[in-house]
């Protein structure tokens, strides 16, 4: 399958928007680049202010201890955490998720004996749990996680398939690979193979097809400004275009490895439509009728945005999922489920 | 960067020989992991001995494979040791805990910070070791193996030290514990 990747100039033309005076004023007040505010206003209208205020508040992110149900019962883990002084709450839609709503001075939730024993994985909030749950996983499947480190989603996938099957967990950064492997070893999974391949060319290096693929693309992290405030001014539109091009390359490369009938989840921890709806639309346009977006079947989060006035956005992106910090009390994220016909 | 060697790798053979000195070949037969290989260069100072288990080689990517299967051992300065979770699976598989000590919570806490187990922290002794041998360290609260160490004395001497109240003597020197990764690696959030 021939793949022509979009040129940087074309992407930049597609995503460039002209901020209104209102956007410029808000950008000054909150310390953002004006183009970012302009699209918040286009997507959210008056709610944009709520989003900006939520991004000023790191405490909206509540850590989630994802219980390793292959090693310990989740009720028992919750009991142990409570004995250590943590106040917890279970998430209805993710049976393994224990949200930490208050914590003692010591120990830190990332350094309890239960953590060291591999009884749970620590997520900074619940958003990362959504993609694996949306992938319709089953025991014995062959699964690729194209950008897997530090391993939260890969280990969740291993858990959801009962550690029976084959997961290829790939990444390129050696530091992040160390974290990935240490999490796999700590949690004791046996079905994961870790590879070091540039995800932009993964279809050239892996001679395998997969029933399920996760592309959790390295992104600008615009959904987590509350813990990374530099993002307000760090990524101008040219830098964003570079990220978008890489995201398109990774998605196209991974789509080539998807079996007919197979499902790929594309996710980011960004609320930038350029990195989400635009990337997915470009991929769908590239492959024509071969791929479709399917509804993941969750109703508690927002939908993808079709009317963005940037590039050509495929209307099917309205089947994708968005979490918004001000609406959902979590980091901003995006998940889209793509099926090969 | 990654050095992988199939077993017969020397270290994996030595690891199995170590276990066969503690357990009889008959009791260990069904507990011996298959398809062992060694992975070096990923973490500072240690190599991992892994059992491939049900994972089969994927054609054409062995050069790009960093890790696969389940960790059964670690190699520190050229010496192989059983990985704590593997030791736990041996205890379960043989139905017999040998060459181990069970530690009280204060000892567990110290051990997971890289410290040794003092005599005062030993709650129970599982025989089958001599002074200088490798022993498993078990958390008395839930029976988890939290690390491995080197016994500073025989079980008899340890019992005697306990009865004489020599509480600050080192009973087990820390070789590897489950806190190692956390101490060595910078955490990456997700």
pLDDT, tens digit, for every residue of A227-285?
999 999 999 999 999 999 999 999 999 999 999 999 999 999 999 999 999 999 999 99
Is it the case that residue A295 has pLDDT exceeding 70?
A: yes
CATH assignment, A62-123: 3.30.70.1170
Q: Is the dihedral of CA A72, A73, A78, A82 positive or negative?
A: negative
Beta-strand runs (E) in chain A: 64-67, 87-90, 97-102, 120-123, 142-145, 166-171, 192-196, 210-216, 258-268, 291-294, 302-303, 321-323, 333-340
d(CA A315, CA A308): 11
Nearest partner of A211 among A276, A315, A140, A282, judged by Cα = A140
Q: Which of A182, A190, A205 sits opposite B181 (nearest CB)?
A: A182
Among partner residues B48, B61, B182, which is closest to A205 by beta-carbon distance?
Answer: B61
Residue A6 has pLDDT above 80, yes or no: no
| A186 in Cβ contact with A116 (< 8 Å) | yes
Give pLDDT, residue A4.
59
Residue B144 pLDDT greater than 50, yes or no: yes
| Residue recorded with tokens 């507990």 | B31
The matching CATH number, chosen from 1.10.8.60, 3.40.50.150, 3.50.50.60, 3.55.40.20, for A127-340 is 3.40.50.150
Give me the pLDDT at residue B2, please: 46
| pLDDT over 90 percentage in chain A | 95
* Confidence category of residue B161, pLDDT binned at 50, 70, 90: very high
Q: How confident is the model at residue B109 (pLDDT cuts 50, 70, 90)?
A: very high
Helix axes A152-160, A174-187, angle to 10 degrees: 30
Residue A170 has which token pair?
A: 């790939």
**pLDDT (0 to 100) of residue B56:** 74
Secondary structure E strands in chain B: 3-6, 36-43, 46-51, 65-68, 70-76, 79-82, 100-103, 117-118, 122-126, 134-139, 145-151, 170-177
Give the pLDDT band of residue B45 (cuts 50, 70, 90): confident
Cα–Cα distances in angstroms (integers) from residue A218 to residues A10, A14, A198, A222, A240, in the given order:
21, 21, 12, 11, 12
Percent of chain A with pLDDT over 70: 98
**At B30, is the secondary structure helix, strand, or coil?**
helix
Is A248 in a helix, a strand, or coil? helix
Between B137 and A4, name the one with better pLDDT: B137
Share of chain B above pLDDT 90, in %: 67
Domain boundaries, chain A: 62-123, 127-340
CA distance A79 to A85: 10
Q: Which residues of B40-54 are buried (b: 16+ CB within 10 A; e: fewer)?
A: eebbeebbbbbbbbe
Domain A62-123 matches domain A127-340 at the CATH topology level: no
Q: Determine the Cα–Cα distance for residues B64 and A195; give it in Å rounded to an integer.
A: 5
* Dihedral sign (CA B67, B186, A126, A41): negative
Q: What is the per-residue pLDDT across A107-132, written as a single tens digit (0 to 9) for each?
A: 999 999 999 999 999 999 999 999 99
* pLDDT at A309 > cutoff 80: no
Q: What is the mean pLDDT of chain A?
A: 95
pLDDT at B103 over 70: yes
- Here the ipTM equals 0.93
- Look at residue A130 in the predicted model and tell me its pLDDT: 98
Which of A192, A171, A70 has the alpha carbon at shortest distance from B71?
A: A192
CA angle A202, A319, A62 (to 5 degrees): 80
Average pLDDT over residues A291-310: 91
Phi/psi for A300 (5° steps) reads -85, -5
Q: What is the pLDDT of residues A73-82, one digit of tens each?
A: 999 999 999 9
Q: Does the structure show a pLDDT above 80 at B153?
A: yes
On the question of pLDDT at A1 being above 70, the answer is no
pLDDT at B8: 52
pLDDT attached to residue B7: 45
Average pLDDT over residues A303-307: 91
* Residue B148 scores a pLDDT above 60: yes
Q: What token pair was written down for A173?
A: 């950064």
**Residue B57's pLDDT band (cuts 50, 70, 90):** low
Which residues numbered 171-190 in B keep a CB inside 8 Å of some CB on A? Answer: 178-179, 181-182, 185-190
Average pLDDT score over residue span B102-121: 97
Question: For residues B95 and B134, is the Cβ–Cβ distance under 8 A?
Answer: no
Confidence of residue B6 (pLDDT cuts 50, 70, 90): very low
| pLDDT higher than threshold 70 for residue A317 | yes
Name the average pLDDT for chain B.
Answer: 90
Contacts of B154 (CB under 8 A, 6+ apart): B129, B130, B131
Give A-chain residues touching B178 at CB under 8 angstroms.
116-118, 186
Asked if residue A2 has pLDDT above 70, the reply is: no
- From first CA to last CA, the distance across chain B in angstroms is 26
Q: Using CB atoms within 10 A of its CB, is residue A309 exposed (0-12), middle (13-18) or buried (19+)?
A: exposed
Separation of alpha carbons A217 and A276, rounded Å: 10
pLDDT at A3 over 60: no
Spatial distance between the Cα atoms of A19 and A27, rounded to a whole number of angstroms = 10
Distance of residue B143 Cα from the nearest chain A Cα, in angstroms: 11
Query: Is it the case that residue B162 has pLDDT exceeding 50?
Result: yes
Please classify residue B14 by burial: count the beta carbons closer than 10 Å to its beta carbon, then call 0-12 exposed, 13-18 middle and 19+ buried.
Answer: middle
DSSP A242: H
Cβ contacts of B190 on chain A, cutoff 8 Å: 123-124, 128, 150-153
Place of tokens 């989003």: A51
Exactly one of A67, A269, A320, A336 is catalytic; name it: A269
Closest-CA distance of chain A to residue B167, Å? 24
Output the pLDDT for position B32: 84
Give buried/exposed letters for B119-156 (b at 16+ CB in 10 A, else e): bbbbeebbebbeeeebbbbbbbeeebbbbbbbbbbbbe
Catalytic residue list contains A269 = yes
The residues near B121 (Cβ < 8 Å, ≥ 6 apart) are: B103, B104, B106, B107, B108, B110, B111, B171
For the beta carbon of residue A133, count every other beta carbon within 10 angstroms. 21
Q: B125 vs A105, B119, B157, B171, CA distance in Å?
A: 34, 11, 11, 11
Higher-pLDDT residue of A269 and A297 is A269
- CB of B20 less than 8 A from some CB of A: no
Could you tell me the pLDDT band of residue B27, with boundaries at 50, 70 and 90? confident
Contact B178 A153 (CB under 8 A): no
**Distance from C-alpha of A108 to C-alpha of A59, rounded to nearest angstrom:** 16
User: Any idea which residue has 């110290």 for tokens?
Assistant: B110
Query: Greater confidence, A230 or B26?
Result: A230
Nearest 5°: phi and psi at A65?
Answer: -90, 110
Residue B106 distance to chain A (closest CA, Å):
12
Mean pLDDT (whole number) for A36-49 = 96
Average pLDDT over residues A148-164: 97
């Amino acid at each position: 399958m021939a793949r022509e990747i979009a040129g940087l100039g074309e992407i930049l033309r597609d995503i460039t928007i002209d901020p209104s005076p209102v956007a410029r004023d808000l950008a000054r007040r909150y310390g953002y680049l004006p183009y970012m505010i302009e699209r918040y206003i286009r997507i959210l209208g008056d709610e944009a202010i709520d989003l900006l205020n939520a991004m000023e508040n790191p405490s909206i992110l509540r850590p989630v201890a994802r219980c390793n149900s292959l090693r310990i019962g989740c009720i028992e883990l919750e009991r142990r955490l409570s004995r250590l002084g943590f106040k917890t709450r279970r998430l209805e839609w993710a049976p393994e998720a224990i949200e930490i709503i208050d914590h003692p001075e010591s120990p830190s939730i990332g350094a309890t004996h239960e953590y060291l024993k591999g009884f749970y994985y620590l997520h900074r909030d619940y958003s990362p749990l959504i993609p694996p749950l949306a992938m319709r996983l089953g025991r014995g499947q062959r699964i690729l996680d194209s950008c897997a480190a530090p391993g939260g989603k890969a280990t969740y996938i291993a858990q959801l398939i009962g550690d029976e099957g084959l997961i290829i967990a790939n990444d390129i950064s050696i530091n992040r690979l160390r974290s990935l492997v240490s999490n796999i070893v700590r949690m004791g999974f046996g079905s994961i193979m870790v590879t070091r391949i540039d995800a932009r060319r993964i279809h050239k290096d892996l001679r395998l097809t997969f029933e399920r693929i996760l592309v959790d693309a390295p992104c600008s992290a615009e959904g987590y400004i509350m813990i990374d405030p530099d993002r307000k001014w760090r990524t101008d539109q040219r830098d964003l275009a570079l990220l978008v091009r890489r995201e398109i390359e990774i998605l196209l490369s991974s789509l080539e490895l998807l079996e007919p009938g197979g499902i790929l989840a594309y996710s980011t921890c960004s609320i930038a439509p350029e990195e989400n709806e635009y990337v997915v639309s470009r991929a769908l346009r590239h492959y024509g009728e071969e791929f479709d977006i399917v509804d993941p079947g969750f109703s508690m989060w927002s939908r993808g945005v079709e009317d963005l006035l940037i590039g050509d956005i495929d209307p099917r992106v309205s089947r994708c999922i968005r979490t918004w910090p001000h609406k959902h009390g979590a980091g901003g994220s995006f998940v889209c489920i793509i099926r090969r016909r | 960067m990654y050095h992988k060697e199939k077993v017969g790798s020397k270290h994996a053979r030595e690891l199995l020989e170590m276990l066969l000195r503690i357990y009889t070949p008959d009791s260990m037969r069904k507990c011996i992991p298959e398809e062992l290989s060694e992975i070096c260069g990923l973490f500072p100072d240690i190599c991992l001995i892994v059992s491939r288990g049900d994972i089969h080689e994927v054609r054409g990517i062995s050069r790009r494979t960093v890790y696969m299967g389940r960790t059964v051992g670690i190699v520190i300065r050229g010496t192989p040791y059983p990985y704590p979770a593997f030791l736990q699976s041996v205890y379960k598989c043989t139905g017999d805990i040998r060459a181990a000590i069970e530690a009280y919570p204060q000892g567990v806490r110290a051990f997971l910070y890289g410290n040794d187990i003092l005599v005062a922290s030993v709650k129970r002794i599982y025989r089958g070791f001599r002074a200088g041998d490798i022993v498993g360290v078990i958390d008395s609260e839930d029976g988890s193996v939290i690390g491995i160490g080197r016994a500073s004395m025989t079980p008899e001497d340890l019992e005697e030290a306990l009865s004489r109240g020599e509480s600050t003597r080192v009973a087990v020197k820390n070789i590897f514990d489950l806190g190692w990764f956390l101490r060595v690696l910078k955490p990456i959030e997700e």
